[in-house]
Amino acid sequence: MSELEAQMRSPIKSHIKHRYVEMDAKGASTCKFVCHTFWASQFEAVRRAHFGLDVSAPECDGDDVEEGFVRSLCSASKWDAKGGKSGATFSKTSDARFVVKYVTRTELQMFLDCALHYFEYLAKAFFHKLPTVLCKIMGVYQIGYHNKATGKRYMDQVVVMQNLFHGRNIARVFDLKGSTRSRYVTVAPCAPPAGGGAEGVSLSVSFLRE
């Protein structure tokens, strides 16, 4: 087993909580920021494996992967994703490499409860050629702040995923749920803009009929 695979399969929790405090001229705290990174070590391994880097290779520079990931997340805007009915909020990084989905605390906990199984599955896909079409999650975070001047508090949970449309010319998009109830819509074939997105999204029954 390679060092990278062992890192991905590790059952040891690697959660990290980053805190930053903004001070005024008198040294008093005005705003507190927090970013809770879940399974930091395991997700680092996922990102390195996804981008084709193995820490056991002498030529590997994993820092470039992490720096690129952070740079992508530094700039993102709201994305009006088509096809879903959950009402979830999405953002997309400016370079279109990643999609950020905002989830509830319950959804976050559901993922954390099965995270080890997720890493085990990805390890089989990356290192043992297990066929998969799973859209890969690259990181899970809880972010927030408390502005003492205004009293405003904010806390959100986000999942960072690969953007499957990035660098690809997509002609048709299907949102498949494995159900046929209310899962048909007629749309014209379309070419989504570069980097992702689609104006028309077909559903499960549309896929079966074609």
Tell which wins on pLDDT, 170 or 71. Answer: 71
* Rounded Cα–Cα distance for residues 29 and 31 (Å): 6
Q: What local confidence, expressed as pLDDT, does residue 54 receive?
A: 47
- 132-168 confidence digits (pLDDT tens): 989 999 999 999 999 988 999 999 999 999 998 888 8
Q: Which pLDDT score is estimated for 174?
A: 75
Tell which residue, 193, 51, 188, has the closest CA to residue 202: 188
Domain boundaries, the chain: 3-164, 167-210
Residue 162, C-beta contacts closer than 8 angstroms, at least 6 positions apart: 50, 97, 98, 99, 135, 136, 138
Its pTM stands at 0.79
pLDDT band, very low/low/confident/very high, at 123 (cuts 50, 70, 90): very high
Q: Please check the confidence at residue 196 and state whether its pLDDT lies above 90.
A: no
> Contact 59/66 with Cβ under 8 angstroms?
no
Q: What is the mean pLDDT of residues 41-52?
A: 93
CB atoms within 10 A of CB 130: 12
Tokens at 197, concatenated? 């997105």
CA angle 63, 113, 163 (to 5 degrees): 45
Phi, psi of 205 (to 5 degrees): -65, -35
Q: What is the mean pLDDT of residues 12-17?
A: 96
Helices and strands in the chain, H and E counts = 5, 9
Per-residue model confidence (pLDDT) at position 112: 95
Under the banding of pLDDT at 50, 70 and 90, the label for residue 179 is low
Q: Is residue 180's pLDDT more than 80?
A: no
pLDDT top residue among 13 and 171: 13
**CATH 3.10.129.10, applies to 3-164:** no
6 pLDDT band (50/70/90 cuts)? very high
Mean pLDDT (the chain) is: 83
Return left, alpha or beta for 178; rule: phi > 0 is left, psi -120 to 50 is alpha, else beta.
Answer: left
What are the DSSP E strand ranges found in 7-152?
16-23, 29-38, 76-79, 90-93, 98-103, 137-147
Q: Which DSSP state fits 194?
A: T
